Amino acid sequence: MASSNIIFPMILALSSLIAGISKGQSTVPVVPGLSYSFYESSCPDLEFIIRGHLWGVLNNDITQAAGLLRLHFHDCFVQGCDASVLLDGSASGPSEQDAPPNLTLRAQAFKIIDDLQALVQSTCGPIVSCADIVALAARESVFLPNGPFYNIPLGRRDSLDFASRQDTLANLPPPTFNTTDLLNAFANKNLNVTDLVALSGGHTIGRANCASFTNRLYPKQDPTMDQTFANNLMLTCPTNTTDNSTNLDILSPNIFDNKYYVDLVNHQGLLTSDQDLFTDSRTRDIVTTFANDQNLFFQKFIDGMLKMGQLSVLTGTQGEIRTNCSVRNGDTLNLGSMVQVNQQKQMLSR
Ligand code: HEM
């Protein structure tokens, strides 16, 4: 912790500078109920607390950034950005976490969110939602591995329930989807073709298990794959049941850059859903443009994240602010009523 005491003021200065120059960076509209200044008076240090903690965590292990970014995507695509993915299962059924697409979310990502929430709660009280913390952690997970910085509207509230296994499966696209399937899945969320290609660029960091891509190796190799790349993947996953994993972006797996698109142009995209974006004529030119222009990719990625990050959000008096991200307040002793009082206080002070 001693080193973060020295570094924290530096981050603070840098953050203010960046926050200052990046205001008004996107034309994506803010959903009613959310605002860029939501916690300005009630928790002014919120963003610095989150960045300070994540700076330490990611400095120690930058690969955790991928887990946090994917967590936000899986939260927002199922029932909206309401932290429903964080809820433990209950008597009413298994949680979203138990549904197959979420089984490969990193356990460490959930722990990092819990730690962040405890830190924020100890400074500001129970007024910041888990959904906002997930969104902020995802933003830092783009920025800290060298990606772009962007401000995000805040004020999301946490859901009272999680989605069923069926709804989770229906909303999270599997890696075997082709571009037609992906365009449909994204259109269902009001996300367009550019959003699809830009947001898929999240695969510039992180890893995938053999089970997510061996459909491209066995029983027959996907003809759109570069041969050397395919040979190496067969060494990583000698059978379609091998338990192993590899990087999504072969060129720079821990840096948030546009190399994911260069991979696709080189026929070295890992998942069917990745490589098909270069095969399909509707998305090919966008892939090529992003491969040649990182700034444009960053700009479109920010737009996509702002849209995705505001999907079906709960605001105002909807939902609640959980005191423990994995359990709804009603299910934890009597803390719920304490939170209500604090929330009312916060509303009155605005
Ligand atoms: C376009 C549809 C998408 C599909 C089909 C998809 C599918 C997948 C799959 C199968 C994995 C690997 C899981 C595993 O084998 O462990 C993965 C990992 C990942 N996805 Fe996606 N994804 C999509 C969109 C996104 C979006 C929009 C983002 C964020 C903006 C994102 C961020 C990530 C990250 C960062 C990882 C690595 C996670 C880690 O290393 O723990 N994905 N995705």
Give the burial class of 160: count Cβ atoms within 10 A of its Cβ; 0-12 exposed, 13-18 middle, 19 or more buried: middle
Nearest-CA residue for ligand 1 atom 7 is 175
312, part of any domain: no
Nearest-CA residue for ligand 1 atom 9 is 175
144, part of any domain: yes
Residues 31 and 6 occupy one common structural domain: yes
pLDDT score at 305: 98
Nearest-CA residue for ligand 1 atom 37 is 206
Residues 281 and 342 occupy one common structural domain: no
Rounded distance between C-alpha atoms, residue 294 and residue 44, angstroms: 32
Contact 237, 197 (CB under 8 A): no
Residues 247 and 141 occupy one common structural domain: no
314, part of any domain: no
Rounded distance between C-alpha atoms, residue 75 and residue 72, angstroms: 5
Rounded distance between C-alpha atoms, residue 200 and residue 70, angstroms: 11
Question: Which candidate in 53, 74, 203, 267 is catalytic?
Answer: 74
Rounded distance between C-alpha atoms, residue 119 and residue 103, angstroms: 27
Ligand 1 and 66: CB distance under 6 A: yes
188, part of any domain: yes
* Domain CATH for 267: 1.10.420.10
With a cut of 50, list the residues of the chain below it in pLDDT.
Answer: 1-13, 15-24, 333-345, 347-350
Domain count, the chain: 2
Distance 107 CA to ligand 1 centre (A): 15
Residues 44 and 166 occupy one common structural domain: yes
32, two tokens = 């009613």
Contact 189, 173 (CB under 8 A): no
Rounded distance between C-alpha atoms, residue 344 and residue 348, angstroms: 6
pTM score over 0.75: yes
Domain span at residue 166? 2-170+320-348
Residues 108 and 180 occupy one common structural domain: no
Rounded distance between C-alpha atoms, residue 206 and residue 208, angstroms: 7
Contact 131, 157 (CB under 8 A): yes
- CB-CB neighbours of 69 under 10 Å: 25
Distance 23 CA to ligand 1 centre (A): 28
Contact 217, 237 (CB under 8 A): yes
Choice from 62, 63, 64, 70 to test ligand 1 binding pocket (greatest atom count within 8 A of CB):
70
Active site residue 74: yes
Ligand 1 and 69: CB distance under 6 A: yes
- CB-CB neighbours of 172 under 10 Å: 17
Ligand 1 and 269: CB distance under 6 A: no
Taking the CA of residue 77 as reference, the ligand 1 atom at the shortest distance is 27
184, part of any domain: yes
- CB-CB neighbours of 349 under 10 Å: 9
113, part of any domain: yes
Instruction: Quick: pLDDT tens for 159-187.
Output: 999 999 999 999 999 999 999 999 999 99
Helix intervals (H) in 223-318: 227-236, 259-265, 272-279, 281-292, 294-308
pLDDT score at 332: 61
